[in-house]
Amino acid sequence: MESYYVTTPIYYVNARPHLGHAYSTLVADSLVRMHRLLGEEAFFVTGSDEHGDKIVQAAEKNKLQVKDFVDGISSQFRELWPRLGIDGFRFSRTTDPAHEKIVQEMLQKVYDAGDIYFGEFSGHYCYGCERFYTEKELEDGCCPQHKTRPELISEKNYFFRMSKYLPWLKEYLLEHPDFIRPERYRSEALGMLEAGALEDLCISRPKSRLTWGIDLPFDSNYVCYVWFDALLTYISALGGPAGQDFARYWPGEHLVAKDILKPHAIFWPVMLKSLGLPLYRHLNVHGYWLSKDTKMSKSLGNIVEPQAMMEKYGQDAFRYYLFREMHFGSDANFSEDAMIVRINSDLANDLGNLFSRVLSMTAKYFSSIVPKPASKLEQDKNIVDLCEHAMQNYVQLMHAIRSAEALEALWELIRALNKYVDSEAPWALFKAQETERLATVMYVLLACMRKIAICLWPVMPKASVLMLSQLGQEADEQTAPVANIRNEISCFGGLEAGTKLAEKSNIFPRIQR
Ligand code: MSP
């Protein structure tokens, strides 16, 4: 059985989870579900990044011991995900002793290989980013991300010989055009390499300044820099390079937003290279969720609470909107008005209506039993072809993390099915007692609806299960509804005549404003 492994960023626990975190985690969930639908063994790693200055400062602000503070926020993340229908993940914390042990082993390995040295350093330190900036990287003397003036700090520290590997990395990015995708982010990474501002990476913090971190195995006066620690989660969650899961799942896929392109596009591949480990498969970079055209962030007070949205609109509708609205790689605006429009048009009018009409007609004409189809006419064959084509596109696009286009492809079929109901007019066939023809039309509709419900399992697991159960199919939110969706694409049918169906359906009620 093929295996698939994907990761989300390991979120900082200095603030509560918001829509941005939820989105990355939902994408990972949908990918894992998609790969399970393809018959693969798939899971993802998410978790919490708990060391460093930023966290200590947040704990102090909340008047809590650091450990109590990180335990509290970390569980908020862990507990939120299942409420959003997110399943199939391993939750990793950078304060897990097993992770800390692997970080120390990896540090020692890099040190023994001669890629870490001790040196004096003075530089511009941004507390927000928890890193030093070179003169060239600053914008008007300020951190490009936080727009604050970094502090000039001079101290002795350990350095990772990153610069030694940068020419190799540049070659690698040029030779592997889809290593970082979409393309604009590969160009951005190449731009960083070409700008010449990258130097060796300072990977330690003296304990005189910070104790909340992992001890360097070769010098207990220092703790490890948070990024070196956090990035290693991607392999410590597999038990480290010697672990069984590592052999089975590595190399994996990474999912991040563009804010953390640099550590993932530059630091991480170089760390893996120095450790002699295979590089990840792809770095998949998405844009920001904006609120009124500005990035959502706690400091700006424009946060969207995923839990509140889900309670108000339902888990499926909320997930659908996020997957349909954001084109992976670009920014998207979050708007409740736009979400209501989508729910009413795509879910209530198109999909909900199809289920409701077809199930109530089957109840009336065939006592809710799937009829046996007779031979197909041209218009039926067209629908069957469209179904195959839409599913093919959908699977391919979801696989490529292009959910907005994937859903559009599926909705073409849903809209065509509603038109087919209008043009074939089952009520007229019933009236004219054309039972064979009526059976064929109803069968074509029901069989396509089953395929649609299967396709939607990665996007709306709850609704998919509900639709499948209304169609007399066994399904649950944790197990893929079919062994391999590829077998469903080119063979029409899959719904047995004689199956008992639900009498009515109202899966997506309209939202009144
Ligand atoms: N701890 C680091 C990551 C270490 S990974 C080894 C970190 N944490 S974070 O809490 O700041 O999370 C950043 C990530 O959260 C982004 O890369 C993205 O996945 C998600 N998002 C946070 N805000 C976002 C938006 N407004 N829009 C989309 N996603 C964003 O960086």
pLDDT grade for 195, boundaries at 50, 70 and 90? very high
Q: pTM here?
A: 0.95
Question: Does residue 380 form part of some domain?
Answer: yes
Show which residues are catalytic: 18, 21, 126, 129, 143, 146, 295, 298
- Cα–Cα distance between 59 and 248 in angstroms, integer? 38
Q: What are the structure tokens assigned to 91, written together?
A: 């939750």
- How far, rounded to the nearest angstrom, does the alpha carbon of residue 447 sit from its chain's CA centroid? 30
Helix axis angle, 378-399 to 435-455, nearest 10°: 0
Please give the tally of structural domains in the chain. 1
Q: Kindly state whether residue 433 falls inside one of the protein's structural domains.
A: yes
Domain that holds residue 419: 340-490
Ligand 1 center from residue 203 Cα (angstroms): 21
Q: What confidence tens digit (pLDDT) does each residue in 279-332 have?
A: 999 999 999 999 888 888 777 778 899 999 999 999 999 999 999 999 999 999
The pLDDT tens digits for 63-98 are 999 999 999 999 999 999 999 999 999 999 999 999
Q: Measure 256 CA to ligand 1 centroid, in angstroms.
A: 7
Q: Is residue 358 part of a domain?
A: yes
Radius of gyration of the chain (CA): 26
Indicate whether 427 belongs to any domain.
yes
Nearest CA to ligand 1 atom 8: 11
CATH number of 417's domain: 1.10.730.10
> How many angstroms does the Cα of residue 21 sit away from the middle of ligand 1?
6
Residue 413 lies in a domain: yes
Has residue 121 been placed in a domain? no
Distance of alpha carbon 158 from alpha carbon 138, whole angstroms: 23
- Per-residue pLDDT at 99: 98
73 lies in some domain: no
Q: How far is the CA of 197 from the centre of ligand 1 (A)?
A: 24
Residue whose CA is at the smallest distance from ligand 1 atom 30: 20
Mean pLDDT for 113-120 is 96
- Compute the CA torsion angle 104, 110, 113, 118 (nearest 10 deg): -90
* Burial annotation 55-73 (CB, 10 A radius, 16+ → b, else e): bbebbeeeeeebeebbbeb
Pocket lined around ligand 1, Cβ cut-off 6 Å: 9-12, 20-21, 23-24, 49, 230-231, 233, 256-257, 259-260, 288-289, 295-296
111 versus 16: which is more confidently predicted?
111
CA distances from 410 to 200, 389, 394, 403, 495 (A): 48, 9, 6, 10, 19
Ligand 1, atom nearest to 230 Cα: 6
Rounded (5°) CA angle 417-471-349: 40
In this structure, the residue with its CA closest to atom 7 of ligand 1 is 11
Strand-pair category, 282-286 with 253-257? parallel
Question: Tens digit of pLDDT for each residue in 216-250?
Answer: 999 999 999 999 999 999 999 999 999 999 999 99
Provide CB contacts within 8 A for 504, sequence distance 6+: 356, 359, 360, 363
44 within a domain of the structure (yes/no): no
